Amino acid sequence: MKRILLLATGGTIASVEGNEGLVPGMSPDELLRYCLNVSESIEVTCKILMNRDSTNMQPEHWVMMANAIADNYTMYDGFVITHGTDTLAYTSSALSYMLQGLQKPVVVTGSQVPISFSRTDAVKNVADSIRFACEDIGGVFVVFDGRVIIGTRAVKIRTKSYDAFESINHPYVAYITGDIVKYYFKPEKMHQELSVDTRISPDVFVLKLFPGTKPEVFDFVKTCYRGVIIESFGNGGLPFEDRNLLPKIKELTEAGITVIITTQCLEEGEDLYLYEVGRKAAQYNVTLSGDMNTEAIVSKLMWALGKTNDCKEVKKIIETPISWDLTTDNEKVD
């Protein structure tokens, strides 16, 4: 008999009709009652952590989830977290960093349609997640529409379709059909004890560049944040003509603020040394992101800043692959 703990946090999957639209309001036991196809050989215990739309999810709530896993770790064989889809990828990434050395699966799932509706993807997603939580595997995973994704590689790319999430720059872990789990990439278990580190700093800013971005925006960033993630164009260059951003990047790094360069392109990652516009930025000791997605970069930077104030150490943490978030061959160290 496999023992699975289901932790409910709200989201569309647990939403009911409210006075101003859908709002989370269903208990985990109600959720589970809709999943009649769960095997009799699986014992599922339900607990509610919170009932919130994932738009309202904050880094402090990631800490609550990580602590709930840690507190119940020895009592269960696997864990399922039901979550709203809009910020689910941030949560799965954050848990991947906070919970190191997992010997059991932690599965994050949700749905595009509430589970109480007649046509919904929620029943399948919960059943698939419970099934995968019984696997002999360690790590954080997203299970959605029959696909299993590494927690640091999931990105929501569709707002309504059932296949809302895709695995970016990494193979899918597996596909689930009924009771069958077909693997394409099975991470080896870490030979270490579970290590829980929930220290986190939310002082992180994400800037998506566009033609016409004013350099003065970084004056504000300098006064309010400890780290900035710049979603640049293509391979990662920064403008240095007309509205020249490079002097401001120099100011930030000299002030001890971590500057990470990534790309607005979903696939294949940055390559800052390919073009002149990238190499000019690289001279200011910026941090490289390789082929990580923005959701993973945000949570990893918050986690790194929670551990240290040393920019060199933060850079080292970001540029080191953790929980399969960064393809080794694409990692660049200046």
Q: Interior CA angle at 300 toward 296 and 302, to 5°?
A: 125
Q: Interior CA angle at 291 toward 288 and 294, to 5°?
A: 80
In the chain, CATH 3.40.50.40 covers 204-330
pLDDT digits (tens, 9 = 90+) for 67-119: 999 999 999 999 999 999 999 999 999 999 999 999 999 999 999 988 878 78
How many Å apart are CA 261 and CA 273, to the nearest integer? 12
Residue 331: its pLDDT value, please? 41
**Which segments in the chain show pLDDT lower than 50?**
330-334
CATH number of 2-196: 3.40.50.1170
Torsion angles phi and psi, residue 236, rounded to 5: 115, 20
Residue 124: its pLDDT value, please? 92
Cα–Cα distances (Å) from 287 to 9, 194, 317, 332, in that order, read 33, 28, 10, 9
In the chain, CATH 3.40.50.1170 covers 2-196
Residue 296: its pLDDT value, please? 98
Residue 330: its pLDDT value, please? 43
Is-catalytic flag, 258?
A: no
The CATH number of 204-330 is which of 3.90.1650.10, 3.40.50.40, 3.40.140.10, 2.170.190.11? 3.40.50.40
Which contiguous run of DSSP H or E holds residue 298? Answer: helix 294-307
Residue 220: its pLDDT value, please? 93
Residue 36: its pLDDT value, please? 56
Residue 102: Cβ within 10 Å count: 23
Arithmetic mean of pLDDT over the chain: 90
Residue 211: its pLDDT value, please? 94
Active-site option among 12, 85, 109, 152: 12
Task: Tell me how far apart the 2 most distant CA atoms of the chain are, in Å.
Answer: 67
How many Å apart are CA 137 and CA 149, to the nearest integer? 13
Question: CB-side exposure of 291: number of CA atoms within 13 Å?
Answer: 15
Write the DSSP string, 178-193.
TTEEEES--PPPPSS-
